[in-house]
């Protein structure tokens, strides 16, 4: 009963503007029709005004129905993340643990003897943006596969949306290294080359600026907000512009040299701590099947191999030739879907198993 009242109270608070609008429409439209019917205007005018009032009543009821659907039933994320429906998706499916990482389990700094700890560092792809159930993320799937095969492991997901390489490394030193992972899986995405901030910042600057009326309606209606941004040319073109801006960074010597430097320094430091490093490189899934960034993959693969990471898993060969709709969460969210997360987990499993050894006392990392 308490739960029911809580849901009802939330609905009345959240939907009160439309409830008032429906109430007024249901009361005023019949009154208006009655007054028109009793008036002395011509039959043609009566028919016109009555039809208009019926249209207004129908519009309010139908629009409110769509509004309720987009507030309470529609359940999709979007890549740029500022739509009202995306914030509702986030609220429904994202739960943070005791260290403010997205997971349904708490993390412990203390390590269990005989259990290998694997940290997974990355951005929104690691975080599982667009993935409703965390058990369907590649990090959780990897943990399940390894444990099912008899390897005793813990996998901690350190993914944070919006992070680039320098953010991830900074966060590792300030927060993640306290967990002392035996193996660090580094999810690298091809928007990670930067100097001090993401290349997409300039692209996104101003995209949320709207005329006052549009801003007002977007603030008060999920349905209008969704329609406006789905139909807005600048929103649709932002995906392509973001990808192009990110890819351009790899051809700017000053940016790429800085990028190489921080990657090399980080890898060397991890090696000095006897931490195994497994890198997985993810492509721009929204550009398939005509993929424009093969050269960048080659460039980064050579870089990671030069730095002697313990294993490198570039996902491009495994998704090449496929259509983007089969790889992404939905047409407006270019993050990898459950199929790709499964594929990543499978390839990482194959890369990590050779680094592990099983004994009667547990699982251990080789050569340590």
Q: In sequence order, what DSSP letters do the residues of 119-174 get, joined into one string?
A: EEE-SHHHHTTT-SSGGGSHHHHHHHHHHHTT--EEEEE---TT--HHHHHHHHHH
Q: What is the mean pLDDT of residues 249-261?
A: 91
In 3-state terms, what secondary structure has residue 180?
coil
Residues 104 and 116: their CA atoms lie apart, in Å, by 20
Q: How far is CA 60 from CA 118, 143, 213, 353, in A?
A: 54, 50, 19, 60
pLDDT at 238 over 90: no
Tens of pLDDT, residues 282-321: 999 989 999 999 999 999 999 999 999 999 999 999 999 9
pLDDT higher than threshold 90 for residue 342: yes
> How far apart, in whole angstroms, are the C-alpha atoms of residue 15 and residue 108?
41
Model pTM greater than 0.85?
yes
Q: How do the domains of the chain map onto residue ranges?
A: 2-72, 84-200+236-365
Contact indicator for 179, 156 with CB cutoff of 8 Å: yes
What CA–CA distances, in Å, run from 341 to 72, 77, 135, 143, 161? 27, 17, 10, 13, 16
Q: What is the pLDDT of residue 201?
A: 61
Q: Give residue 29's pLDDT band: very low, low, confident or very high (50, 70, 90).
A: very high
Question: Alpha carbon 341 to chain centroid distance?
Answer: 13
Mean pLDDT of 256-260: 92
Residue 8, token pair as written in the block: 């009802």
pLDDT tens, position by position, 147-203 = 999 999 999 999 999 899 999 999 999 999 999 999 999 999 998 887 555 666 666
Provide the CATH topology of domain 84-200+236-365: Rossmann fold (3.40.50)
Is residue 2 predicted with pLDDT exceeding 60?
no
The DSSP line for 286-326 is GGTTS---HHHHHHHHHHHHHTT-SEEEE-HHHHTT--GGG
Is pLDDT at 281 greater than 70 in this prediction?
yes
Strand order in the sheet with 183-189: 153-157, 116-121, 183-189, 276-282, 311-314
């Amino acid at each position: 009963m308490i739960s029911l009242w809580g849901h009802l109270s939330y609905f009345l608070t959240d939907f009160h503007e439309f409830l008032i609008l429906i109430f007024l429409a249901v009361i005023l439209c019949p009154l208006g029709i009655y007054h028109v019917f009793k008036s002395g205007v011509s039959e043609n005018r009566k028919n016109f005004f009555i039809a208009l009032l019926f249209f207004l009543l129908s519009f309010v009821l139908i629009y409110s129905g769509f509004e309720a659907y987009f507030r309470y039933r529609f359940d999709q994320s979007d890549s740029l993340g500022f739509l009202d429906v995306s914030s509702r998706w986030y609220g429904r499916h994202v739960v943070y643990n005791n260290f403010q990482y997205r997971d349904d389990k708490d993390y412990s700094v203390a390590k269990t003897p005989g259990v290998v700890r694997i940290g997974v560092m990355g951005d929104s792809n690691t975080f599982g943006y667009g993935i409703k159930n965390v058990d369907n993320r590649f990090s959780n799937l990897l943990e399940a596969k390894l444990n099912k095969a008899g390897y005793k492991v813990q996998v901690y997901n350190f993914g944070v949306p919006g992070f680039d390489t320098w953010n991830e490394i900074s966060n590792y030193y300030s927060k993640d290294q306290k967990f002392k992972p035996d193996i660090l899986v580094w999810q690298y995405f091809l928007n990670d080359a930067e100097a001090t901030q993401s290349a997409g910042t300039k692209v996104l600057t101003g995209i949320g600026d709207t005329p006052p009326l549009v801003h007002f309606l977007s603030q008060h209606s999920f349905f209008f907000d969704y329609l406006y941004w789905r139909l807005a040319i600048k929103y649709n073109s932002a995906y392509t512009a973001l990808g192009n801006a990110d890819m351009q960074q790899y051809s700017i010597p000053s940016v790429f040299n800085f990028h190489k430097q921080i990657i090399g320094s980080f890898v060397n430091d991890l090696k000095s701590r006897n931490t195994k490093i497994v890198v997985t490189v993810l492509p721009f899934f929204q550009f398939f099947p005509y993929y424009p960034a093969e050269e960048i993959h080659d460039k980064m693969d050579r870089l990671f191999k030069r730095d002697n990471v313990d294993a490198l898993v570039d996902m491009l060969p495994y998704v090449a030739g496929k259509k983007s709709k089969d790889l992404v969460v939905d047409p407006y969210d270019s993050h990898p879907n459950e199929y790709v997360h499964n594929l990543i987990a499978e390839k990482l499993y194959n890369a990590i198993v050779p680094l592990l050894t099983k004994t009667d006392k547990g699982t251990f990392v080789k050569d340590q």
